[in-house]
Amino acid sequence: MRTLLILLAVLLVSSACAARPASESSPRELRQYPLQYTFTPRPDQGVIAVRVRIENSELLKSISFRYHKDRHQNFSADGLVKRYKSTVRWEPAQPSDTLTFTAKVNHKRSDDSFDALMTDDWAIFRGDDIVPSARVRSLAGAEAVAQLEFKLPGDWSSAYTGWKSDTNGVFQIDNPQRRFDRPTGWMIAGRLGARRDFLEDGTELVIAAPRGSELERMNALALINAIWSEAKSAFQQLPAKILIVGAGDPMWRGGLSSPNSFYLHEDRPLISENGTSTLLHELTHVMTRVRDYRESDWISEGFAEFYSFELLRRAGAMNSSRFDRVLQSLERWSDDVITLRGNNSSGARTARAVLLVHALDQELRQESAGKLSIDDVTRAMMQRKKVSTEDLENIVEELLGKPAKTLDTPLL
């Protein structure tokens, strides 16, 4: 009798396993689909030819790209491609399927400057602009394992991105927050000069510019090394890699950041005469990745500008007297500012925001007997990733146990 019961149990388990859908028993790796991006710069046409190859495409139903009609052209695929007013929908037809298109590189930020440019010798651009954002319809749990490879013209030497690369120079695209990875961030390719270093705790830092550029690669490398321990202490979360790209005119004369990289014009001083640093401002954006909404751009810009000289002070590269003079200069500059609210903060408004951030730091330290500082606020914002003025007020109240007097101001 006991033997018969055991035999019946085995038969029931076997029957249940046979009836279980394949999706429940498949190993996790079968829910992943390799996604290979290939960028081929064509300087004579001013475009990058993009090839997107998908394996295990049976896990996908469709990919809809929100393309820009003036930038993205010549869509073609093995499967079905449908072009609408603002989207291109690709429905892969084979287990291995390929989509190709071209993306125009040059983009003017103003009448006489570019924030993306391709010449005969080099190209600087953001991957976000080359591969459009996409909406994916897939089987439950399916996710991409993405790579990016460059096919360069014969006289171009190298390409760099903010993503880690393997020994073959293939970049590994991995954004844990997304199931469909795009090769985002600043990129540079061409005849280049570059400096690479590994900072404390292993962060890879690459500074690249066209050959002959006056970007101060070694000085920038030294400055970041000098403040890195303080940046680590303040933000705690360290990126795996940071890429800095730079060039001269006709590129835009400023700095622009992405999550793993930033652009800096070669003429921007590493430390300005007023004591602030565009280099460290953009580095703060890359490390904290704090975004804002509801007319609260003063938060991301004000905090980044504050840390651009606060990190210098903490690292011993600026004494307290000089630090005070920086604050006095910002106060004179922003004397006429009556509100910090707005979708775009720059100039005098950002200067006034810095003063508010500094005053908040002082209040936190005084009210907590030195146990709290502005760093605690920054790390809390980094956890939220996207904050408004109201979110900031709530964060500070949670830390202090009461509303901050500094934030009770007509400026907000």
pLDDT, tens digit, for every residue of 245-284?
999 999 999 999 998 999 999 999 999 999 999 999 999 9
Q: How many angstroms separate the CA atoms of 148 and 146, rounded?
A: 7
Q: Hey, what are 179's tokens?
A: 């199931």
Same domain (yes/no): 217, 91: yes
Same domain (yes/no): 129, 204: yes
324 found inside a domain: yes
Same domain (yes/no): 48, 147: yes
Same domain (yes/no): 259, 354: no
Same domain (yes/no): 253, 292: no
Same domain (yes/no): 191, 319: no
What residue numbers bound the domain in which 349 lies? 288-400
Same domain (yes/no): 68, 155: yes
Number of domains in the chain: 2
Q: How many angstroms separate the CA atoms of 2 and 6, rounded?
A: 6
Residue 239 has pLDDT above 60, yes or no: yes
- Which tens digit of pLDDT belongs to each residue from 184-211? 999 999 999 999 999 988 999 999 999 9
Same domain (yes/no): 140, 51: yes
Which class for 110: exposed (0-12), middle (13-18), buried (19 or more C-beta within 10 A)? Answer: exposed
- Which tens digit of pLDDT belongs to each residue from 132-142? 999 999 998 89
Q: Which one-letter amino acid corresponds to residue 231? A: A
Same domain (yes/no): 250, 324: no
Cis-peptide, bond into residue 250, ω within 30° of zero: yes
Residue 356 CA from chain centroid, whole number: 26
Same domain (yes/no): 260, 298: no
The domain that holds 89 is classified in CATH as 2.60.40.3650
Instruction: pLDDT band for 338, please (50, 70, 90 cuts).
Output: very high
358 found inside a domain: yes
Please report which residue ranges of 20-81 form alpha helices under DSSP H: 22-25
7 found inside a domain: no
11 found inside a domain: no
Longest dimension (CA), the chain: 95
CA atoms within 13 A of residue 66's CA, in its CB half-sphere: 7
| Sheet hosting strand 60-65, strand order edge to edge | 80-83, 88-91, 60-65, 134-138
Instruction: pLDDT band for 324, please (50, 70, 90 cuts).
Output: very high
Q: Which of 219, 234, 268 is the last residue of a domain?
A: 268
Q: How many angstroms separate the CA atoms of 384 and 395, rounded?
A: 10
104 found inside a domain: yes
Q: Hey, what are 349's tokens?
A: 């408004």
4 found inside a domain: no
CB-CB contact of 269 with 281 (8 Å)? no
Same domain (yes/no): 72, 219: yes
Same domain (yes/no): 253, 122: yes
282 found inside a domain: no
26 found inside a domain: no
Q: How many angstroms separate the CA atoms of 203 and 237, rounded?
A: 11
Query: In sequence order, which residues have a C-beta less than 8 Å from that of residue 222 and are 6 or more positions away?
Result: none
